[in-house]
Structure formats: C-alpha cells, structure tokens
Amino acid sequence: MTIKDVAAYCDVAVSTVSRVLNNHPDVSEDTCAKVLAAIAKLNYIPNNSARDLVTPQGDSIGVVVRGAENPFFTPVIRAIEARCELAGYTMVLHQIPAGADEVAAGAELVRSKRLRGLIFLGGRFDYSQHEANALGIPFVCCTNTNQFGDLEKTAYSSVSIDDFAEGFKATNLLVQRGHRRIAILLDSVTDHSVSELRYAGYCQALADAGIPLDTSLVFQTVAFSMPAAFERVSAYLAQSQDVTGIFAVADTMAIAAIKALHNAGLHVPQDVSVVAIDGIEMSLYTIPTLTTLSQPQETMGEEAVSILLDVLSGTSPNRHVRLETTLREGETLGVCKN
C-alpha cells in the first residue's frame, strides 16, 4: 500500500495525493475529498522513511537518560515528551545503565534515528570536545553543566541547578539548626557529576561554620540506588551513632537513609535530621515528610526542549540556564539537641 496505489485508485497523480497528504493549498475540494476517502478506505499509511529521506530534516529529539530508575527523572521526561509533541517532534528515549558512556549512546542514537537534537539527562560533567564532535547535532545537558569537561560553553546548552550552591544551602540548613556531626550521603565524591559538586558545597558549608571535615561522615554508596544508600547508612549506624544530621544528594537516598535510621531505633528528626535535594512526589508521602530542596522538574524538561528548539531554528545560540530550588519544608529537619 503505497502512495501510488492511492493515486491509481483515485485516478490522480501521486503528486496530487502527496499534496493532500501534506495539505498543500491548491487542491480542488473534490479531489481532496476523493483522495482522503481513498486513504481512509485503503487504510493507507505513508512510509515515513521515504518521507524522511526526501525531506531535509528528521523530526526526532533524542533523550539519553542515565539512571532512569530514579523517580526524579519521571516528571522531567514527561515534560520533555509533552513539549516535543507540542512542537511536532517525537521524543526518542534511550536509557543507559549507570556505567555506560552516554555520549557514545547519544552518537549511536543520532546515527540510527534521524535526530535533530539531543538531551542528556543525569549525565557526567566531563565531555570532551572530541566526543561532542562525534554527536554532530545540538545538544543540551539537563541537570548538569559539564564543569569537568573541556567543552566550549558555546558548543552546547545546559539547564541545571547550581549544585555547589545547593549543596551548600542544604548543608547549611543543618548547620543553622546547630548540627555539627553532619554526614553527606552520595554515590561518590569523584563522580564528575552532581554528587561531586554538591559535596564541594557541603565541604564549604562545613568550613564556613568552622566544622572540620570528618571523612567517616562521608557516606559514599558507589551505586546510586536505594539499597546501596540503605546499606551504607545501616553499616555506619552499626558501628557508630555519632551523627545528628544527614544531607542526602537525592530524595531516594534520603528515604532509604530514614529507613535505616528507623531500623536502628533512631528517630527523625528528634535524633537525626535529614535534608535532601530533589523534591520528588513520593517524598511528600514518607513518614515523616522529607525536607528537601525541590528542583523544578517540569521546568527543567520544558526549558531543555525550548533551548533545543531555539538552537535548531537558529533563533538563538546555545545558552546555559540555571534554575533555583525551593525549600520544601517537611518534618525531617530539627534542631540539634546535643
């Protein structure tokens, strides 16, 4: 079932069918109706590959997500898809495991799909110019700004929060409540990603408060997962309970930490306070409700698409957008009693 069949069926030329398909102006009403009817009757579906082949551009935007199991991304992805669809683009989602190379995955996507642009979600911050060249299309880093790479600022876009500042802010919430035994819960202090930056903010906040850094309170989990966070905190508590505040770099980790504290017989926030960064829906329903710096998830996704569309249309060059978190007050932050 091709456009030819439809044309033959209607006794018109293929170009006429093509015209009604792409609703070009000058087709007589009669012809148009006739063709439309035939299309419906024959259940004709245009071959998009043929279409793509002949039209200069594709209509897809790729999204590469590292750690899609993190519920933080769900609303972001939804926003991206909604925005793409609105603009007539199709979102092509690709999830990659924690260890995989997202730029390679992106290049592969570009290669196999006909992408116009790319959005990286939850990635590293250390792309090299060489890697980026392999991509060959505009891309925006969402949630990260590539601080550790050697990319020109003009070579890509980003939308993110200021991880250092937010890490500082979160830690400071604890400091201000009188906490001094403040732990940080993260995957790694050298992940070249959000954890590393937020860790730097944490260190700064401690330093500003005159609190020496105690590496035994740096809870690295290696894996960015709830079980890993749970195990890590449980392991610490089994040997020592000398901690009154925990800053978790993600809500999911905070929730796992609270469970570990609870299992160890510690109360939140009476014994230990917990703050996090993210603001996922789920943490509104934990007991107690999590106190967290909430990221504007939908806005992040929408902004990423907007930037991409602007760059694609030539409306504006690459740009870097910094979004603010808002403190979502819960019940896990209390005054230090020690």
Partner DNA sequence: GTGAAAGCGCTAACAA
Partner DNA sequence: TTGTTAGCGCTTTCAC
Among 212, 215, 285, 313, binds a copy of itself (CB under 8 A): 285
State both tokens at 29.
């009403």
Task: Take residue 76 and report the two structure tokens written for it.
Answer: 């972001």
What is the Cα–Cα distance from 24 to 112, expressed in whole angstroms? Answer: 30
Work out how close the CB of 105 gets to a copy of itself at its nearest, in angstroms, rounded to a whole number.
10
CA distance 182 to 328: 20
Choice from 34, 113, 180, 319 touching a copy of itself (CB under 8 A): 113
Smallest gap from Cβ 44 to DNA, in A, equals: 7
Choosing among a copy of itself, DNA, none, which partner's interface includes residue 226 (Cβ < 5 to 8 Å by kind)?
a copy of itself
Out of 8, 9, 36, 46, name the contact with DNA by CB under 7 A.
Answer: 46
Contact code string over 26-45 relative to DNA, x by CB under 7 A: xxx-xxx-------------
Tokens matching residue 40: 């419906």
- Torsional sign, CA 202, 168, 270, 220: negative
DSSP string, 241-271: ---SEEEESSHHHHHHHHHHHHHTT--TTTT
The token pair that represents 151 in the structure block: 């990319």
DSSP lists the bridge partners of residue 245 as 182, 273
Give dist(CA 234, CA 221) in Å, integer: 11
**Closer of 31 and 74 to a copy of itself (Cβ):** 74
Between the alpha carbon of residue 208 and those of residues 52, 180, 199, 202, the distances in Å are 57, 12, 14, 10
* Structural Rg of the chain based on CA atoms: 25
Cβ at position 248, least distance to DNA in Å: 48
Measured from the Cβ of residue 29, the count of other Cβ atoms closer than 10 Å reads 7
Minimum CB distance to DNA smaller for 22 or for 315 = 22
Residue 316 contacts which entry, a copy of itself, DNA, none (Cβ below 5-8 A, type-dependent): none
State the minimum distance, in angstroms, from the CB of residue 132 to DNA.
Answer: 22
Nearer residue to a copy of itself within complex by CB, 23 or 53: 53
Contacting residues toward DNA, per CB under 7 A: 2-4, 11-16, 18-19, 21-22, 25-28, 30-32, 46-47, 50-51, 53-55
Contacting residues toward a copy of itself, per CB under 8 A: 43, 45-50, 52-53, 58, 68-69, 71, 74-75, 77-78, 81, 90-95, 110-114, 133-134, 136, 226, 230, 252, 255-256, 258-259, 262, 281-282, 284-287, 289
